[in-house]
């Protein structure tokens, strides 16, 4: 139930722009950070839209990455799919917001993945 509420909250935040806010721009890639909670190692990766990257023991696919048009370095949000590369089990699928990664977070016992920003290179 808690996960369902988080998904609904995220959907509401993404669907209704703030008053006076311009539309979001689409990036060409997302900059992600992964953490191995057992040994404390972290890894950053820039993953193109539509591409996947293996980050530690997870396969992360980025479907979309958006950011405020008036503030390109501002609050980004990306649609991610996180799977186990060995058996294809899905650990996460949905929107993740850079400034609030706990709002809709990956629930994995060893690894954590979150969005840092979008890239427009």
Residues 6+ apart with CB under 8 A from 50: 62, 63
Judge contact between 82 and 92, C-beta under 8 A: yes
**pLDDT tens-digit series, residues 77-113:** 999 999 999 999 999 999 999 988 889 999 999 999 9
The torsion angles phi and psi of 78, rounded to 5 degrees, stand at -135, 150
pLDDT computed for residue 10 by the predictor? 53
Burial of 8 (0-12, 13-18, 19+ CB in 10 A): exposed
**pLDDT tens-digit series, residues 24-80:** 899 999 999 999 999 999 999 999 999 999 999 999 999 999 998 887 666 899 999
Judge contact between 96 and 75, C-beta under 8 A: no
Query: How far is residue 65 CA from its own chain's centroid?
Result: 8
Element (H, E) at 83: strand 77-83
């Amino acid at each position: 139930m808690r996960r369902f509420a988080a998904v609904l909250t995220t959907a509401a935040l993404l669907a209704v722009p703030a008053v006076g806010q311009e539309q979001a721009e689409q990036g060409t890639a997302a900059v992600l950070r992964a953490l191995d909670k057992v040994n404390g190692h972290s890894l950053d990766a820039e993953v193109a839209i539509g591409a996947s990257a293996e980050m530690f023991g997870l396969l992360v696919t980025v479907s979309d990455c958006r950011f405020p048009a008036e503030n390109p370095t501002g609050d980004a949000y990306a649609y991610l799919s996180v799977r186990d590369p060995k058996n294809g089990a899905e650990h996460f699928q949905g929107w993740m917001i850079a400034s609030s990664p706990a709002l809709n977070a990956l629930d994995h016992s060893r690894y954590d993945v979150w969005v840092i920003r979008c890239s427009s290179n």
